[in-house]
Structure 1
């Protein structure tokens, strides 16, 4: 279970403060795979980072009953001057898992070849996402935060990514940001639409997608 209690987050801009999350109280149920929908700029990635604890809220707090992954796809999770192997070992120590086992899993999964032993700053965006997804899937979290990473790579790699994610969802929940309606239906059992700092939850995936599609027609 992940609970948001009176959660607020805003950032200063040239035109005043932009509110990303507005006094939000909500609960993501234990074991559920929830699609987080919203148009570009709605704050989906920011909300994932608030839930993971990688950024601090302006006010309010996040509670959870288990471990939460860092946001998969977030490049800020890794040190640019460390290699893929070194970053993997650092994350393993951070979360208390076997570093050799995690390195073996990531090396096999991410398909980075020689780049796995090169500095992270030399990686392309796709390679960064592969490393991020591999490290996260190699650790048994209770809730996985996934930000569009299943769209990275060719068809074979996407298929492998979904298979690994399916296996993890047998024993864990997830909050998944994706713009793909087929992926929402494939991976998620419920959905939440983020608009103007508010979340609307749906048990009916099609109703959530209809709400999201309607929001896309509105002026920003």
Structure 2
């Protein structure tokens, strides 16, 4: 369960306050894989960071009765001057999992070779995404926040990522951002639509997609 209470967030742009989330009050159910739909600039990544706690709201709060991952694909949880291996072991200690077991899992999954022992600042965006996805999937969370990363890499790696993610969804919830509607249909059973600072929950994914497309039109 994730609950939003009077949540608001915006940014100052050219001396004008631009709201992204407007006084949101909503409770998200547990055990659901939810697509997060919204136009470009609607605030989807901002909402994920608010849920993860990597960004503070202007007002209100978010309450959860379970553990929540960082936004997969967002590098803010990682120290750029530490290696992939060092970041992996650090996060293992933070979340209370076996350090070597997680390091072995991530090194095998991410397939970045010797770069695993090199500073993250030397990584390409694709390697960072492989690392963050691998670490998050190697740690059990009640809710995973995922932003496009199942599309990283070649077809074989994407298929491997999707199979791993599908396995995790057998026992966890998720909020996914993905512009590929076919992938959303493959992984999600409900949806959230973010538009002009308002967030609406849909039990039916196809109904949400239809509503989202009407808003874009």
Using structure 2 for the length normalisation, give the TM-score: 0.98
Q: CA RMSD in A?
A: 0.9
Could you say what secondary structure the match of 1:214 adopts? Answer: helix
1:73-127 C-alpha deviation (Å, 9 max, x unpaired): 0011211100000010111111111110110110111111111111000111111
After superposition, give the CA deviation of every residue in 1:160-199 in whole Å (9 maximum; x if it has no partner): 1111111111111001111110011000010011001111
- Is the counterpart of residue 120 in structure 1 residue 120 in structure 2? yes
d(CA) in 2 for partners of 1:86, 1:162: 26
- The separation in 2 between residues aligned to 1:78 and 1:36, in whole angstroms, is 24
- 1:47 corresponds in structure 2 to 47
Q: How does 1:125-164 map to 2 (within 5 A)?
A: 125-164=125-164
User: Is the CA contact 1:72–1:149 (under 8 Å) kept in the aligned structure 2?
Assistant: yes
Instruction: Look up the match of 1:88.
Output: 88
1:200 has 2:200 as partner? yes
Alignment of 1:4-23 (within 5 A): 4-14=4-14, 16-23=16-23
Shift of 1:45: 0.5
Aligned residue for 1:187? 187
How many pairs are equivalent? 217
Unaligned runs of 5+ in 2: none
Q: CA deviation at 1:15?
A: 5.0
Does structure 2 retain, via aligned residues, the 8 Å contact 1:39–1:216? Answer: yes
Structure-2 residue corresponding to 1:76: 76
Cα shift readout 1:131-153 (whole Å, capped 9, x = no counterpart): 01000000011100001111111
Residue 62 of structure 1 corresponds to 62
Q: CA deviation at 1:214?
A: 2.0
Cα distance, 1:215 vs. partner? 2.2
In 2, are the aligned partners of 1:83 and 1:119 still within 8 Å (CA)? yes
Cα distance in 2, alignment partners of residues 48 and 8 from structure 1: 13
